Amino acid sequence: MTVTSPPSGSPVLRRPFARRLLATLAAAALAFGVMLPSAAVAATAGPSPSVQAAALSAAPAANGILRPGDSLSVVVTLTAGSSAAATTPLALSIGTAPLPDDGALDRWLDGDTAGQTMQQVATGAVDATASGAQTSTTLTVAATDPALNGRGAGVYPVQVTAGTLTASSVVVVPSDGAATPIALVVPITAAPMTRGLLTGNELAELTAVDGALSAQLDAVDGTTATLAVDPAIPAAIRVLGSAAPPTAVAWLQRLLALSNDRFALQFGDSDVAAQLQAGLTAPMGPTSLQSYMSEADFARPAAAVTSPEPSPSASPGQPSFPSLSALLDIGTATPNVFWPATGSAGPETVASLGALGTAEEPARVLVASASVTGSRPTAGAVGGVSTPVYDAEVSRVLADAAGQNDTTRRSASLAAAQAYLAIARATAGDQPVLAVLDRGTDRSRVSLRATLGLLSTAPGFTTSTFAEVTSRPASEISLASPTVDSARVAEVGDLMTDEQAVDRFATILDEPDLLTGRERAELLQVISVSWAGDAARKAVADHRAGTQTTLDSVGILSSDFRLVSSSAPLRPWVRNDLPWPVTVVLAVRPDDARLRVQDHTTIEAQAAANTRVEVPVEARIANGEVGVDLQLYSPTDQPVGTPQRVDVEVRAEWESIGLIVIVALVVGFLSLGVVRTVARRRRTRAEEQPPSTPDAETPTDGIGVKDPDADGRGPAEADTEDAIASPPTEQETRP
């Protein structure tokens, strides 16, 4: 840029006062505008975060196992709250007597120290901790300490105090004796959702190296855990055909290759008990997943469909879609196994599910020990239906440990699990112990692996399988009546009512399964066991709103109409928001006899488009406004969409009057033209014909022939008239 200075000696140009004032104000405004955002942020900043209290956690080493001759080490972690914590002294105490049962263990871990005599065995201190940070230290008691010598087998309470903070934990002195079989059931599930199937992007994320589904397979690989597989996950991979993410294909192949026993959960892990309580005689299952498959993805053999292979196509070159059973296949599995949500299964639920089994493949219903009244054998039966009983307390703490990403808290949960296992072993006698890792999605690979590894190293136990536990002779048990969530049951009933409406609506499609199959898959996902509380209510509300949108996706677009002739088409639109073409019948009903219409018109409405319809309409003689009701129906006579009413203004005489006027004008103009033509011809003929000269010898009217020069006038009269008729010329009048 070139800057040109004024010539030397030129006067300095000065701005007028007003311009200088405006410039000053503009600069001030700019400066204020720069400062305004920060001031606004300061003024509108939300309230300060709530004060967070400090927390203390304690975790015995070795998952709480304290064998004779071992030292006791406890890791203590102080988490500072909103304020920093100064250096804090610590004290470690251990109970002098073991906890007698799981009830006492529950109370101790909940912070109830009543009836426990504690002996201080170690002291220490935790360093100063900044606000929101953690500081850990280890308190150790030597193996030679008298407080540890001579302790019998059992579960002993352990407590760490830091000022006003306390942390309760336990250690287990294992007992000798025959090993007790223990079996674990692990779910292979994804997070709850409202869609029918996982998308390709979601599968790619979940089956990646650090994905949640990969972590689940990593945890169970090499263990004897029995897998409870949600069949919606393999189905989600297989419906993508050749478009399935490679990581998802590898994950599915790995799942099928695992040697673990397995059984299939309900599709989407749907709530079995709620369905039966809503009046169903059997749980719902998927009906079709065809709407999730694309022809382009199955034009060639799909690598994603690893087992079983898709059925061969009937026509060469046509896509080969797998069957529903092929999509849902999870490998070799135990059939007719049901796992209701913990505490939801009562005697009625077990009886209904038991009726679904056969002599060759009997039904098995997992129930929690907390639902059993009286004795609680692992191999139980209710009314002759096999009901394996899993230990509710062991299962709860295993789920807690699997969901802990903090090392100290996870170790504390594992120590608690060891304690519950020890008590279960002491009370089981010769019965095996069955545990479940209840549903959950926020579980890291480390936490899952540590939790499952606990069972393989628990002293006094030997790993077993679900099939071995359930093959033992069953003992009759009694189940308490479950607490029924009436709101949940009502929601399931509403969802089933909506599904029936969709079934009727879907008859507009050549393949109704495209719509009904998707609705069923989404319904089952919405009533998944993993949904709870307000989130469950919102999922149901969102799904019902989506269902209503589907039911409203086909309708009529029309407006009032003026009929200015005796017959003309009524031309409404049929709106189709579905991704498939539909066949509907338009019924038209006028409320007055002045209008005659075609009652029913069949329409082929294009996918995702508005289709114009022409309905023949005929008006009678009378005029006025006629109301016309429009309603769409499916080919099976099911109402579709919202009825519409349009007003038709009938002006039936306008056409007749206009026609008469036009005809009259045409006739008038033609007549006038004829008259003028005839008159013109007569004049022309008269002008062209020479005057006739009569024969002098021929008498006319009986009178003799006159002199040609005689016209009947006198000489004087003839001269006068000739003078008038022929005025004199200039030459004649000049003197």
- The two tokens of residue 733 are 């009048």
- The two tokens of residue 520 are 């069923």
Do 475 and 490 lie in a common domain? no
Q: Tell me if 713 is assigned to some domain.
A: no
Sheet with 615-619, side-by-side order of all strands: 567-570, 615-619, 595-597
Sheet with 600-605, side-by-side order of all strands: 561-563, 639-650, 624-633, 582-590, 600-605
The whole-number pLDDT of residue 616 equals 85
Do 205 and 295 lie in a common domain? yes
**CA pair distance 689, 712, nearest whole angstrom:** 27
Q: Tell me if 10 is assigned to some domain.
A: no
Q: Tell me if 683 is assigned to some domain.
A: no
Write down the residue that tokens 């034009």 correspond to.
Answer: 299
Do 193 and 315 lie in a common domain? yes
**CA pair distance 247, 229, nearest whole angstrom:** 18
- The two tokens of residue 569 are 């088409």
Q: Which of 529, 550, 571 is the last residue of a domain?
A: 550
Could you list the residue range(s) of the whole structural domain that residue 193 is in?
180-479
What pairing do the DSSP bridges indicate for beta strands 433-436 and 461-463? unpaired
Q: Tell me if 48 is assigned to some domain.
A: no
Do 258 and 358 lie in a common domain? yes
Do 277 and 398 lie in a common domain? yes
Do 71 and 161 lie in a common domain? yes
Do 513 and 601 lie in a common domain? no
HEC-encoded secondary structure of 581-605 = CEEEEEEEEECCCCEEECCEEEEEE
**CA pair distance 447, 403, nearest whole angstrom:** 7
**CA pair distance 564, 619, nearest whole angstrom:** 9
- CB neighbours of residue 273 within 10 Å: 28
The whole-number pLDDT of residue 725 equals 47
Do 474 and 333 lie in a common domain? yes
95 CB-side CA count, 13 A: 24
Do 220 and 78 lie in a common domain? no
Q: Which residues pair with 432 in a beta bridge?
A: none
Q: Which residues contact 145 (CB under 8 A, 6 or more apart)?
A: 72, 121
Q: Which of 479, 507, 539 is the last residue of a domain?
A: 479
Sheet with 554-557, side-by-side order of all strands: 554-557, 573-576, 609-612
* CB-count exposure of residue 356 (10 Å: 0-12, 13-18, 19+): middle
CB 603 within 8 A of CB 613: yes
Write down the residue that tokens 């206009």 correspond to.
Answer: 658
**CA pair distance 555, 183, nearest whole angstrom:** 56
- CB neighbours of residue 537 within 10 Å: 14
- The two tokens of residue 104 are 């006492």
Number of domains in the chain: 4
Asked whether the CA dihedral 458, 463, 469, 473 is positive or negative, the reply is negative
Q: Which residues pair with 167 in a beta bridge?
A: 160
The whole-number pLDDT of residue 566 equals 60
Strand (E) or helix (H) holding 454: helix 445-457
**CA pair distance 327, 521, nearest whole angstrom:** 13
CB 559 within 8 A of CB 630: no
Do 598 and 634 lie in a common domain? yes
Buried b / exposed e over 315-326, threshold 16 CB at 10 Å, is eeeebbbbebeb
Write down the residue that tokens 């988490």 correspond to.
Answer: 79
**CA pair distance 349, 282, nearest whole angstrom:** 10
Q: Which residues pair with 170 in a beta bridge?
A: 157
Q: Tell me if 20 is assigned to some domain.
A: no
Q: What are residue 606's phi and psi, to 5 degrees?
A: -70, 160
CB 170 within 8 A of CB 65: no
Do 436 and 381 lie in a common domain? yes
Asked whether the CA dihedral 403, 368, 284, 492 is positive or negative, the reply is negative
Nearest to 572 by CA among 595, 594, 551, 597: 597
Question: For 84, left (φ over 0), alpha (ψ -120 to 50), or beta?
Answer: beta
Q: Tell me if 22 is assigned to some domain.
A: no
Nearest to 415 by CA among 172, 184, 173: 172
**CA pair distance 126, 134, nearest whole angstrom:** 10
CATH code at position 218: 3.20.110
**CA pair distance 640, 632, nearest whole angstrom:** 5
Q: Which residues pair with 227 in a beta bridge?
A: 186, 262
CA 691 vs. chain centroid, Å, equals 107
Q: Which mean pLDDT values do the consecutive 10-residue runs of the chain (735 residues) have?
A: 34 40 43 35 41 89 93 95 90 95 94 93 94 94 93 95 94 92 96 96 96 95 96 98 96 97 97 95 96 89 51 63 96 96 93 94 95 91 95 94 92 95 89 92 87 92 93 93 92 96 96 97 97 94 96 88 65 94 93 81 94 83 76 95 84 60 81 83 75 53 48 50 47 40
Rg (CA), the chain: 49
CB 524 within 8 A of CB 266: yes
Q: Which of 479, 497, 530 is the last residue of a domain?
A: 479
Q: Which residues contact 296 (CB under 8 A, 6 or more apart)?
A: 319
Q: Tell me if 669 is assigned to some domain.
A: no
Q: What is the DSSP string of 384-411?
A: TEEEEEE-HHHHHHHHHHHT--SHHHHH
Q: Which residues pair with 262 in a beta bridge?
A: 227
**CA pair distance 329, 521, nearest whole angstrom:** 16
Do 459 and 335 lie in a common domain? yes
CATH code at position 95: 2.60.40.10
Q: What is the pTM of this model?
A: 0.79
* CB-count exposure of residue 726 (10 Å: 0-12, 13-18, 19+): exposed
Q: Tell me if 13 is assigned to some domain.
A: no
CB 112 within 8 A of CB 99: no
- The two tokens of residue 45 are 């900043």
